[in-house]
Structure 1
């Protein structure tokens, strides 16, 4: 998994504002027969894999760890606030 520099800068600001938690990727159900990945700021859970990626503390639900190997988290500042997207997810056929 990778986190772009722009996403890192936005995430650092969010983590500083919140004051606790990490970037957490979690199993968010199934879409088109494939697992979906959710992205949030939260405390790690017991079964999470903990990593530090581009200086960001990250917790990844072990059920989706294999889906994050080629994943890139990108971010940009918008009028509505920071927006993040996950690039490199497998294509879904539905």
Structure 2
């Protein structure tokens, strides 16, 4: 998994502003027969895997760790605030 420098700067500021401990990737249900990944600022849960990626503390739900190997998180600042995108997820057949 990679976090781009742009996303890193945005996440670092958000973690400080929200007084959150880490970025958490979690199982967010199924879409088209494949697991969906959710992204939030939250405390890690008991069965999460903990990592530091590009200086960002990241907790990953064990049910989706196999989906995050090639994942890239990018971000940009918009008029509505920071927006993040995930790339490198497996293709879904819908």
TM range (shorter): over 0.9
Q: Report how many aligned residue pairs link the two structures.
A: 94
CA apart distance, 1:28: 0.2
Deviation per residue, 1:39-85 (Å, 9 max, x gap): 00000000000000000000000000000000000000001000000
Q: Which consecutive unaligned segments of at least 5 residues does structure 2 have?
A: none
Residue in 2 aligned with 1:33? 33
Residue in 1 aligned with 2:13? 13
Measured in 1, the distance between the counterparts of 2:20 and 2:52 equals 15
Deviates more, 1:44-53 or 1:18-27: 18-27
CA apart distance, 1:21: 2.3
Q: Which consecutive unaligned segments of at least 5 residues does structure 1 have?
A: none
Instruction: State TM-score, norm by structure 1.
Output: 0.98
Residue in 1 aligned with 2:88? 88
Residue in 2 aligned with 1:45? 45
Measured in 1, the distance between the counterparts of 2:19 and 2:32 equals 36
CA RMSD of aligned residues (A): 0.5
Residue in 2 aligned with 1:64? 64
Residue in 2 aligned with 1:79? 79
Measured in 1, the distance between the counterparts of 2:20 and 2:61 equals 18
